[in-house]
Structure 1
Amino acid sequence: MNQVEVFKALGNKNRLQILNWLKSPEEHFVDYVPACGDVDVGVCVGYIQKKSGLTQSTISEYLAVLNRVGLVSATRIGQWTYYKRNEETIAALSNLMDTL
């Protein structure tokens, strides 16, 4: 984990909000339906874009940043990409914060 890049990624309130939404998608996305019936796949970009009110390209860029630093993982199914939090990386970040 590149700590500087992770903190840069977290320096944007919208990216932080996305991470919060992805923690409990069933709470934050009213019409959320798990892909292929599997909640472990993640949330489709379309749900995130709709909730945020931002453009699809902006949301895609935010998710790409979060993915690059390992805070989320992406799964492609057909034409759709689904994102979920990478709890391992988030736990490592939490441990780092505790030591600082």
Structure 2
Amino acid sequence: MAPDRVFRALANDKRLQILEWLRDPTRHFPPQTDGDLVKDGVCGLFIADKLGVSAPTLSEHMRVLTAAGLVKAKRAKGWTFYKRDEPGLKAARRLLGEVL
């Protein structure tokens, strides 16, 4: 896990908000037609809408979170679904503890 990628991912309030929402997706997002919120993840369009950003802007946020190992992306039926990468988040917590 690259510390610079983790710090970059966590240095943005919108990305922190996304991580918080993805912690409990059924509480923060409506049911999906093409995927289970918990098992498959949340459709990127739902996240973009809730965050109030365009799809390309959301893609960049998710690219940063994925590159840092904090989120997993899954493509299905032309959509991208996102969920937290719990082992990656655990590793990031350890990394932050070591650095701080």
Same-fold call, TM cutoff 0.5: yes
Aligned residues: 99
Distance in 2, matches of 1:83 and 1:47, equals 10
Q: Give the CA deviation at 1:78.
A: 1.4
Q: Are residues 1:14 and 2:14 paired?
A: yes
- Superposed CA deviations along residues 6-58 of structure 1, whole A, max 9, x for unmatched, are 101110100111011111011111x2337444722100001101101111111
- Superposed CA deviations along residues 50-99 of structure 1, whole A, max 9, x for unmatched, are 10111111111100111111110110001100000000010111123334
Q: Residue type of the partner of 1:47?
A: F
Helix, strand or coil: the match of 2:69?
coil
Q: Are residues 1:66 and 2:57 paired?
A: no
Distance in 2, matches of 1:72 and 1:63, equals 8
CA RMSD of aligned residues (A): 1.6
Q: Residue type of the partner of 2:10?
A: L
* Uncovered stretches (5+) of structure 2, i.e. residues with no partner: none
TM-score scaled to structure 1, two decimals? 0.89
Distance in 2, matches of 1:36 and 1:13, equals 27
* Uncovered stretches (5+) of structure 1, i.e. residues with no partner: none
Helix, strand or coil: the match of 2:46?
helix
